[in-house]
């Protein structure tokens, strides 16, 4: 991923902020084929208001278009490529890692504005949640937290390998939600991810919503807001 493409992110991010000066940041990554504007509007529709906090900047980046194998190679706004939407195939780490570099520059831009990493959370919906887990547990393990909504990691994920090899004393806490009626991300994939992360020492919450499809619901977003305020509290 070139630095020019990384700069593209900084120019196209949508930002929700209630005050000019913020003391914490949330980076919210959309699912495959969506945009930052799209997921922000979706969250607003579900909640009936913007996903906003008086002291937290919420950033919604948009992935660049790239050929996407599950769509027969057609262009789509995705964070990385993969063979198919399944948890039993190898990860395409070249595409994951190049995107991690670009999004890492977005994190570093917040740091340069005076926001320490321990006051930054990354997360997302579906593919965005998987990308956030790679960011938070392979590249930026000093973040305040990671959230993954309707998301999963592959069985042989590089995230697990890094956690096993490094055996850190602390890792960012993880917040996961999953619907039982999701036809795209099997509930068992998300549950396996949560279980594996806990076994590897990550403090992980897993919330299941009966009858929820591949979507977000008001209850999980309200719970996510509580979790964010817990890990990114108002400054004393």
Catalytic positions, please? 126, 182, 214
Q: Which of 35, 32, 36 is nearest to 184 (CA)?
A: 32
What is the H or E stretch that residue 40 is in? helix 36-47
User: Could you tell me which residues come within 8 angstroms of residue 108 by beta carbon, excluding any fewer than 6 positions away?
Assistant: none
127-134 and 158-166 helices, crossing angle to 10°: 30
Q: Can you tell me the distance from the alpha carbon of 149 to that of 203, in angstroms, rounded to the nearest whole number?
A: 16
Q: Can you tell me the distance from the alpha carbon of 140 to that of 45, in angstroms, rounded to the nearest whole number?
A: 31
CA 64 to chain centroid: 16
In sequence order, the β-bridge partners of residue 145 are: 121
Q: Is 177 helix (H, G, I), strand (E, B) or coil?
A: strand
């Amino acid at each position: 991923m070139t630095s020019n493409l990384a700069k593209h992110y900084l120019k196209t991010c949508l930002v929700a902020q209630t005050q000019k000066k913020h003391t914490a940041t949330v980076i919210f990554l959309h699912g495959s084929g969506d945009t930052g504007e799209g997921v922000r509007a979706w969250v607003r529709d579900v909640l009936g208001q913007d996903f906003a906090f008086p002291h937290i900047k919420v950033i919604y980046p948009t992935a660049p278009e790239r050929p996407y194998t599950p769509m027969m190679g057609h262009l789509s706004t995705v964070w990385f490529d993969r063979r198919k939407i399944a948890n039993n195939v190898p990860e395409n780490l070249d595409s994951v890692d190049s995107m991690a570099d670009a999004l890492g520059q977005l994190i570093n831009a917040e740091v340069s504005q005076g926001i320490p990493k321990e006051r930054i959370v990354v997360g997302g919906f579906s593919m965005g949640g998987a990308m956030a887990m790679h960011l938070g547990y392979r590249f930026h393990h000093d973040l305040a937290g990671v959230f993954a909504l309707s998301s999963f990691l592959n069985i042989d994920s590089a995230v697990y390998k890094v956690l096993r090899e490094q055996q850190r004393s602390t890792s960012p806490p993880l917040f996961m939600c999953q619907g039982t009626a999701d036809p795209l991300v099997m509930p068992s994939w998300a549950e396996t991810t949560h279980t594996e992360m806990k076994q590897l020492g990550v403090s992980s919450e897993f919330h299941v919503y009966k009858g929820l499809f591949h979507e977000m619901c008001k209850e999980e977003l309200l719970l996510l807001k509580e979790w964010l305020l817990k890990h990114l509290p108002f400054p004393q």
